[in-house]
Amino acid sequence: MKITIIGTGYVGLVTGACFAEVGHNVICVDNDAQKVRVLQSGGIPNYEPGLEEIVQKNVDEGRLRFTESTQDGVENSDVIFIAVPTPPQQDGSVDLSFIEKVAREIATYMKSYKIVVDKSTVPVKTGEKVAETLRRYTKTNVDCDVVSNPEFLREGFAVEDFLRPERIVIGVFSQRPVKAMKEIYAPFNAPIIVTDINSAELIKHAANSFLAMKISYINAISVICESTGADVIEVANGIGMDSRIGRRFLDAGIGFGGSCFPKDLSAFIKISEEIGYDFRLLKEVRRINAEQMDRFIKKITDTIWVLKDKTIGVLGLAFKQNTDDVRMSPAIELCKRLQKTGTKLRVHDPKAMEKARAVLTNVTYVEDMNNVAEGCDALVIATEWEIFKKLDLERARKSMTHPIMFDGRNLFDPEEMEKLGWIYKSVGRK
């Protein structure tokens, strides 16, 4: 199939590269000239495991190319995927101006039948607006179909998730584009759900809100655990073995962040409000998430007392492991709130230091995770990077003023830590 992807952000680039990887011919369009140049010269703008390799391989083998020209992309493909940002606005609603602009551009350059697929996360009923826009702005009378095909990629695992999806959701107005969509996804051997376009759009918001709810649920349980001497990991394991619940997304900590959950939750609350439903359940999910951070900071202040002029080492800046993304990162929020108390920070992240420098200043960036603790009054784990489990605990302990660790991601075993001489405080455990 000849496919064009408009927008080479996290989602667009992974989609383009993975489609090429399974044999489709792909053009990736981006209006950011600098980004296109980076991609054309073999680089990738964001760290994503496995992505650079498949981009390079498919460019070399002639199945993937990059351009700034939407016209080129539209004229030289049958199926056009829209993967542009849908950023949040002040009131929580979604800014759809990039989607609208791209729809207008596609309409302008469309000279034959096209399938226009929305991959960006959008409010329910956006597909109807995209279809209207395409009809309104086409110069010729050519026909097109609009499809909703939400993505469920996790950053850090996006390539793996794309190549081995648990399901593909295809939302359509009519059966006409279904055959081509199934053909595009045939190489992935995944169950395909064909549904109406509004349901497809809702599936995305409903899925992300549910996952956020799972995290807030276990975080609420962690509060009960702390006041009763129970262990949240034991509870998560115990409930997670029930296949109706499942163990994943039951890791308590300092809360969820990133460019999806907070934004999608607010958008879903707003969409519901607009249709007259007060989604109080999701408002509570958001509140629990915010309180989880407050509680963690209180734990630090209760233990250390005066934070002013103390030095705290922070391991982790990315919003989660395996990514360099610091957007809406709980780790960055934590650092900023500690800075407000006059605390000095020594910080490290295996991948996100470069991106963090733009949003977090007046801290000491430490290249080696084993040097972070030096001279610190406490050490904080803010991101769940696996590599932090390999921290040289003995060296860290000896180099600190006081060996206190606040583990916001429950990476270590409390008993072990005590044995090693640490004052160890984690989330939802003794």
Q: Which helix (H) or strand (E) holds 115?
A: strand 114-118
Using alpha carbons only, what angle is made at residue 328 by residues 299 and 36, rounded to the nearest 5 degrees? 150
Q: Going by C-beta distance under 8 Å and a sequence separation of 6 or more, which residues neighbour residue 403?
A: 396, 397, 421, 422, 423
- φ, ψ at 25 (rounded to 5°): -95, 120
Give the pairing of strands 144-148 and 168-172. Answer: antiparallel
Residue type, 133: T
Binding residue for ligand UDX (CB under 6 A) from 103, 153, 352, 356?
153
The position carrying tokens 């800046």 is: 317
CA distances to 296, 313, 319, 391, 405 from 421, in Å: 22, 18, 29, 15, 11
Binding residue for ligand UDX (CB under 6 A) from 105, 155, 226, 324?
155
Task: State the catalytic residue, choosing from 28, 144, 225, 260.
Answer: 260
> What track of x and - describes contact with ligand UDX for positions 201 through 230 (by CB under 6 A)?
-------x--x---x---------------
Q: Which helix (H) or strand (E) holds 195?
A: strand 192-196
- Closer residue to ligand UDX, CB minimum distance, 248 or 390: 248
Q: Is 407 in the site for ligand UDX (CB under 6 A)?
A: no
Structure tokens at 284: 């509570």
Binding residue for ligand UDX (CB under 6 A) from 35, 114, 310, 320?
320
> What track of x and - describes contact with ligand UDX for positions 258 through 287 (by CB under 6 A)?
x-xx--------------------------
Structure tokens at 9: 């952000």
Q: Among residue numbers 28 through 67, which ones bind ligand UDX (CB under 6 A)?
A: none
Q: Is 257 in the site for ligand UDX (CB under 6 A)?
A: yes
Q: Is 154 in the site for ligand UDX (CB under 6 A)?
A: yes
Start-to-end CA span in the chain (Å): 56
- Closer residue to ligand UDX, CB minimum distance, 77 or 383: 383
Active site residue 260: yes
The position carrying tokens 């793996």 is: 160
Q: Is 412 in the site for ligand UDX (CB under 6 A)?
A: no
- Closer residue to ligand UDX, CB minimum distance, 307 or 380: 380
Q: Is 385 in the site for ligand UDX (CB under 6 A)?
A: no
Structure tokens at 175: 């059966």
CB of 256 to ligand UDX, least distance (A): 3
- Closer residue to ligand UDX, CB minimum distance, 166 or 367: 166
DSSP annotation of 193 reads E
Tell me how many residues contact ligand UDX (CB under 6 A): 20
Binding residue for ligand UDX (CB under 6 A) from 47, 81, 162, 256?
256
- Interface residues toward ligand UDX, by CB under 6 A: 151-155, 208, 211, 215, 249-251, 253, 256-258, 260-261, 319-320, 384
